[in-house]
Structure 1
Amino acid sequence: MERFDYSELEKQLGYTFKDQSLLTQALTHRSYINEHADFPYPHNERLEFLGDAVLELIVTEYLYSHYENPEGDLTNWRAALVNAKTLAGIANQLHFEEYLLMSRGEAKDANSKARMYILANAIEAIIGAIYMDGGNDAAKGFIDRHILSHLDFILKNELYIDPKSKFQETAQELLGITPSYKVLEETGPDHAKEFTVGVFLEKELVAVGKGTSKQEAQISAAEAGLEEKGWRTKPGK
């Protein structure tokens, strides 16, 4: 559709579409179709399905070709590269949220966990669209530039290790202390609880995290604790 000007977005993506409708579809969330029944393109979930498979294959092939580590390592590294948090962060770096077509309600809810998944899914849909428009080499070029380029940072900072495990291992190694977690607050109705959890080193409250489950809040607290203690990088490095 001519009313969408994607020239700036394509510069950010590093790819120019021959079929602009594929990019429009990749940026169309299901909620937008619900409010615009006459919209001529489908939502992005089929492209997301395709892009997810393309992304996993290309990342897997890269890791297999460049590292001789065992399967478990490669699986963890791949998961860190393609999880929703990483992909949503890449979406933010590419500044394409303003191009997403969403319902008015979704557009207003900018800070929710749902928005993170919308952004991550849109990255996968764009990969699917690039694959359909330009083939495997074009998709590989996008993934090399925008996703595999984060691998060194992930490995250096051990982001493939879940925050709770890393916080515990580092606390035990450096201080001889096993961290503990305590629920500090519960808010909201039973069907939509939010938990605030603190992570402690003995009596010291190191950091606080929030989540819709106790486990999620603990992970958030551990992540904040790693930042607070400067333990994101390996001890002594």
Structure 2
Amino acid sequence: MGRYVPHKSNKMTQAREDSLHGLVSRLSIPSIDISVLDCAFTHTSYANEHKSKHIHHNQRLEFLGDAVLDLVIGEYLFKQYPDMSEGSLTKIKAATVCEDSLASVSRTLHLGNYLLLGHGEKASGGNDRNSILADTFESLIGALYITTDFETVRQFVLSHLLTYIKQALEGKRGKDYKTLLQEFVQRDGDKHIVYNLISESGPDHAKTFCMSVSIDGIDYESGSGKSKKIAEQHAAQLTLEKLMAAI
């Protein structure tokens, strides 16, 4: 596959270039074009704030990465589960590459630390927002695809998503964490789960909420988010992970 270079490379500071080289090394990515990687981590809000510099943002790479993810996961499921019906294949693939799964991978890889965001998006916590993190992972896959080769991309994707494929096959993906937590704790009978508001901070247009989980009166983990619902989901996720790790 031929190497791809944007029509106009975004200008990078030395610190930015060093940071991206560090990411390449940490993720063991082979010889990716750093200028394309920089584009993969450039959000539209940042490009819009610097229109005079004609900065390339990551939407096109996101589009490509989405298609590549579908192909890699679809091919894997097709080959590994020859007796699975089309409907089941579609369901498992969708659960594997859903926003929540991809955002979770991005958090694990700390991709939000490398995002270039506009001031407003950054101030409102965009580098930890599920939708932006999921899009960023897709952009990274798009960048890998056009600067390396399909086998490299396939190995990278599967190394980070096999766990999520397994969870989807077990019915643990495609549901929200509050539902998963409820199902987990009620295996041994009815349990009373309560979500409590611990605090809220920040200006009205960009508040951060902190919610905690208690099960039958026992306090567990707390989570934060830009809405009470998001904070509840985060708290449920952390509590579920803690309970599962104790098994």
Give me the TM-score of the superposition, normalised by structure 1.
0.69
The Cα shift of 1:63 comes to: 1.9
TM-superposed CA distance for 1:121, in Å, is 1.7
Question: Following TM superposition, by how much is the alpha carbon of 1:140 offset from its aligned partner in structure 2, in angstroms?
Answer: 2.0
Partner of 1:181: 194
Give, in whole Å, the separation in 2 of the partners of 1:87 and 1:74: 18
Match of 1:59 among 73, 76, 87: 73
Partners of 2:28 and 2:53 lie apart in 1 by 25
Displacement after TM superposition at 1:103 (Å): 3.2
- Structure 2 distance, partners of 1:220, 1:98, is 19
After superposition, the C-alpha distances for 1:181-210 in whole angstroms (9 at most, x for unaligned) are: 355468578866666555444444444444
Residue aligned with 1:38, SS = helix
Match for residue 38 of structure 2 among 16, 24, 28? 24
The residue that corresponds to 1:126 in the other structure is 140
Q: Gapped runs of 5+ residues in structure 1? A: none
State whether residues 177 and 202 of structure 1, in contact with CA within 8 Å, keep that contact through their aligned partners in structure 2: no
Tell me the SS of whatever aligns to 2:194.
Answer: strand
Identity across the alignment (%): 34
Aligned partner of 1:101 among 110, 116, 126: 116
Distance 1:215 1:77, change over 3 A: farther
Match of 1:35 in 2: 49
Structure 2 gap ranges (5+): 1-8
Q: Distance in 2 between matches of 1:40 and 1:92?
A: 29
Contact 1:30-1:102 within 8 A present in 2 as well: yes
Task: Describe the shift of the 1:191–1:69 C-alpha distance in structure 2 as closer, same or farther (beyond 3 A).
Answer: farther
Q: Per the alignment, do residues 138 and 158 of structure 1 end up closer, same or farther by CA in structure 2, a change over 3 Å counting?
A: same
Report what 2:29 is aligned to. 14
Change (3 A) 1:95 1:190: closer
Question: How big is the alpha-carbon RMSD for the aligned residues of Structure 1 and Structure 2?
Answer: 4.0
- Distance in 2 between residues matched to 1:20 and 1:199, nearest whole Å: 42
Q: 1:55 to 1:209 in 2, by over 3 A?
A: same
Q: CA deviation at 1:26?
A: 1.5
1:80 CA drift (Å) = 5.0
Q: 1 CA distance for matches of 2:104 and 2:187?
A: 30
- In the TM superposition, what whole-angstrom CA distance separates every residue of 1:90-113 from its partner, at most 9, and x where no partner exists? 345545555433335545666864
- Counterpart Cα distance in 2 of 1:53 and 1:78: 12
Q: Of 82, 87, 109, which aligns to 2:102? A: 87
Q: CA deviation at 1:55?
A: 0.7
Per-residue Cα deviation, 1:110-166 (whole angstroms, up to 9, x for no partner): 68643x543332221121122233454443233133x23434774799752532233
Partner amino acid, structure 2, of 1:100: L
Shift, 1:14, TM fit? 1.6
Q: CA deviation at 1:43?
A: 0.8
The answer to whether the 8 A contact 1:178-1:201 is kept is yes
- In the TM superposition, what are the counterparts of 1:137-148 in structure 2 within 5 Å? 137-145=151-159, 147-148=160-161
Amino acid aligned to 1:101: L
SS of residue in 2 equivalent to 1:231: helix
TM-score (norm 2): 0.67
Corresponding residue pairs, total: 229
Distance 2:209 2:44 in 1: 29
Q: CA deviation at 1:7?
A: 4.1
* Distance in structure 1 (CA, Å) of the matches to 2:204 and 2:116: 32
